[in-house]
Amino acid sequence: SSGAALWGVRQVAARLDRPARIVTLFSDSGTRYLSSIYNDDWMRKHGFLPEAEAGAPISSRP
């Protein structure tokens, strides 16, 4: 599952002693995660994204 893959990535990341990029493929459509990891507000609340600067756009759409 994608959740297990994410858990594994976080375990690996916690053991790294220097900044690195970790690539993980999630094999499902992601619809179960629309309210969490694909939601910028949720990501900010949980410390995965920096807080938006005052007056800066939070997101944009074409």
- Using pLDDT thresholds of 50, 70 and 90, give the confidence band for residue 3: confident
Contact 13, 22 (CB under 8 A): yes
- Global confidence as pTM: 0.45
| pLDDT digits 0-9 by tens, 16-30 | 999 999 999 888 788
d(CA 11, CA 14): 5
Q: Which pLDDT score, from 0 to 100, does residue 62 have?
A: 63
d(CA 43, CA 50): 9
Residue 61's nearest CA partner among 43, 40, 30, 37 is 40
Contact 50, 44 (CB under 8 A): yes
